[in-house]
Amino acid sequence: METHKGATVYENARIVDPSRDMDETGSLVVIDGKIAEAGAKAANQGTPDGATVRDCTGLTIVPGLVDMRVYVGEPGAEHRETIASASAAAAAGGVTSLVMMPDTDPVIDDVALVEFVLRTARETAMTRVFPAAAITKGLKGSEMTEIGILLDAGAVLFTDGRQTIANAAVMRNAMRYAKDFGAVVAHETQDANLSAGGVMNEGLFASWLGFPGIPREAELLPLERDLRLAAMTRANYHAAKISTAMSADAIRSAKDQGLPVTAGVSINHLSLNENDIGEYRTFFKMSPPLRNEDDRLAMVEALKDGTIDVIVSSHDPQDVDTKRLPFSESADGAVGLETLLAAGLRLVHNGDVTLARLVEAMSTAPARLLGIDAGTLAAGSAADFAILDLELPWVLDEDQLRSRSKNTAFEGARFTGRVVETVVAGNRVYGA
């Protein structure tokens, strides 16, 4: 057997790799930052001379998670989150690749900002960080950015982040250019007029609390417009964050027609509903708002049947000044990088989805959509993976979060299953 000083063998682990439809007990062999082999066959091939051997009995190895919707404060709001702190939070959550939204100050809408993100990530991040670039300059919804140039600079996705482009002509042109360059357009759909003044899901519970609501149609109407534009342009369109049964039906219909359409959902909308707001708990104030239980169940069903492709954390750090306010005045959003997988495992333990399907939606599918080297344990791929203890009970202490902001929707939550180690390019970047 050849000697490999940079080799590590993780043996006796359950290996779950949706990219190869694999769920079996075996070994994972890493040599020089690349995966040499993974699975039952690897366990029968011996150990390279000089390799470090790790016994992973009782543990599960999955491809590192790919979170394609992460808000970071740097540049402009480093007190909420820096690229380094977001990366540390990601590592603790088993996320080895994250896509940083362009909602920064200044906005990531030119080559200099894309290069800033990539340079800062190289210097400070322990995980892979990919920039998403704005569709329109300044996220103002009118003047398009240079999609081809930004793509060449390293942008992996085009989105206006929290903003919804109201102008259909601008959106159509963006899709046309994206189609020409093979880029993906990801769009969060919220009609500004229908959602104006609303602070939570429209319905009986909002009436009880005395809050103006946001109807489901505020999400559906821009989504249906976008799907028609996707049919016109044949662009790769990604509905970034859907939250209602009506939206899932629209995506399902578009896919049935053969459109190049994908959809994402935040882990919050898979595991929480509007009742969690309770007595005006601002950490549950989000956009789109948490919906009722029927919509949450519709999201789970859409995940199961493949209508929803991707699960994101929608990590959105907010500080005390923007979150510890009366409910109607507080900012939307919650941090989620560190709880993404643990919250998702609730669906597995409940029998709602299989572990393989969960990992596919959190790793393999987003990597495939973005076209990056991730989301697989196939030989020759980057050695980015997470080691899990699926039965480990633990309670979230928000003070222990690595994010600079502590606005978690899972404050004090009890979980079963946790990331015990995260590896990027063969290097251990997190260990519990």
pLDDT value for 105: 97
Sign of CA dihedral 410, 414, 419, 420: positive
Q: How large is the C-alpha radius of gyration of the chain?
A: 21
Do 27 and 134 have their domain in common? no
Contact 277, 284 (CB under 8 A): yes
Contacts of 193 (CB under 8 A, 6+ apart): none
Do 24 and 77 have their domain in common? no
Half-sphere exposure (Cβ direction) of 24: Cα atoms closer than 13 Å = 13
In a domain, 202, yes or no: yes
Contacts of 245 (CB under 8 A, 6+ apart): 294, 295, 298
Domain harbouring 31, CATH code:
2.30.40.10
pLDDT value for 324: 85
Contact 219, 213 (CB under 8 A): no
**DSSP labels, 41-56:** HHHTS---BT-EEEE-
What is the number of other CB atoms lying within 10 angstroms of the CB of residue 280? 15
Strand pairing class (236-239; 261-266) = parallel
pLDDT value for 164: 98
pLDDT value for 4: 54
What is the number of other CB atoms lying within 10 angstroms of the CB of residue 67? 31
Whether the ω angle into residue 131 lies within 30 degrees of 0, i.e. cis, is no
Do 38 and 127 have their domain in common? no
Structure tokens at 265: 């959902």
Q: Per the structure, how many domains does the chain have? A: 2
Do 163 and 208 have their domain in common? yes
- 427-431's contacts with Cβ under 8 Å and 24+ in sequence apart are 427/33, 429/91, 429/96, 429/126, 429/127, 430/91, 430/92, 430/94, 430/126
Domain harbouring 324, CATH code:
3.20.20.140
Contacts of 387 (CB under 8 A, 6+ apart): 10, 13, 56, 59, 60, 61, 419, 420, 421, 422, 423
Distance CA 430, CA 418 (A): 12
Do 40 and 170 have their domain in common? no
Greatest C-alpha distance within the chain: 71
- Residue keyed to tokens 């344990």: 377
Do 144 and 239 have their domain in common? yes
In a domain, 1, yes or no: no
Three-class DSSP category at 291: coil
In a domain, 407, yes or no: no
| E-assigned strand segments in 303-357 | 310-312
pLDDT value for 44: 75
In a domain, 317, yes or no: yes
Distance CA 309, CA 290 (A): 20
pLDDT value for 48: 85
pTM of the full structure: 0.97
Do 53 and 148 have their domain in common? no
In a domain, 406, yes or no: no
Give exposure, 212-240, as e/b (b: 16+ Cβ within 10 Å): ebbbbbbbbbbbbbbbebbbebebbbbbb
Do 174 and 285 have their domain in common? yes
pLDDT value for 5: 56
In Å, what is the CA distance from 334 to each residue of 322, 340, 370?
12, 11, 24
Do 27 and 171 have their domain in common? no
Structure tokens at 314: 């929608």
Region of 365 (left: φ > 0; alpha: ψ -120 to 50; beta: rest) is alpha
In a domain, 353, yes or no: yes
Instruction: Give the single-character DSSP code of 289.
Output: P
In a domain, 95, yes or no: yes
Do 54 and 68 have their domain in common? no
Contact 337, 93 (CB under 8 A): yes
Distance from CA of residue 299 to its chain's centroid? 15
C-alpha dihedral, 76 to 170 to 216 to 361, nearest 10°: -70
In a domain, 2, yes or no: no
Q: At what angle do helices 83-92 and 111-124 cross, to 10 degrees?
A: 60
pLDDT value for 1: 43
Do 167 and 179 have their domain in common? yes
Do 161 and 299 have their domain in common? yes
Residue 93's φ and ψ, nearest 5 degrees, are: -100, 5
- Residue keyed to tokens 């790790």: 54
What DSSP element (H or E) covers 15? strand 7-17
Domain that holds residue 21: 7-61+381-392+413-431
Return per-residue pLDDT of the chain as tens, 432 residues.
455 558 999 999 999 999 999 999 999 999 999 999 999 998 877 788 889 999 999 999 999 999 999 999 999 999 999 999 999 999 999 999 999 999 999 999 999 999 999 999 999 999 999 999 999 999 999 999 999 999 999 999 999 999 999 999 999 999 999 999 999 999 999 999 999 999 999 999 999 999 999 999 999 999 999 999 999 999 999 999 999 999 999 999 999 999 999 999 999 999 999 999 998 899 999 999 999 999 999 999 999 999 999 999 999 999 888 988 999 999 999 999 999 999 999 999 999 999 999 999 999 999 999 999 999 999 999 999 999 999 999 999 999 999 999 999 999 999 999 999 999 999 999 998
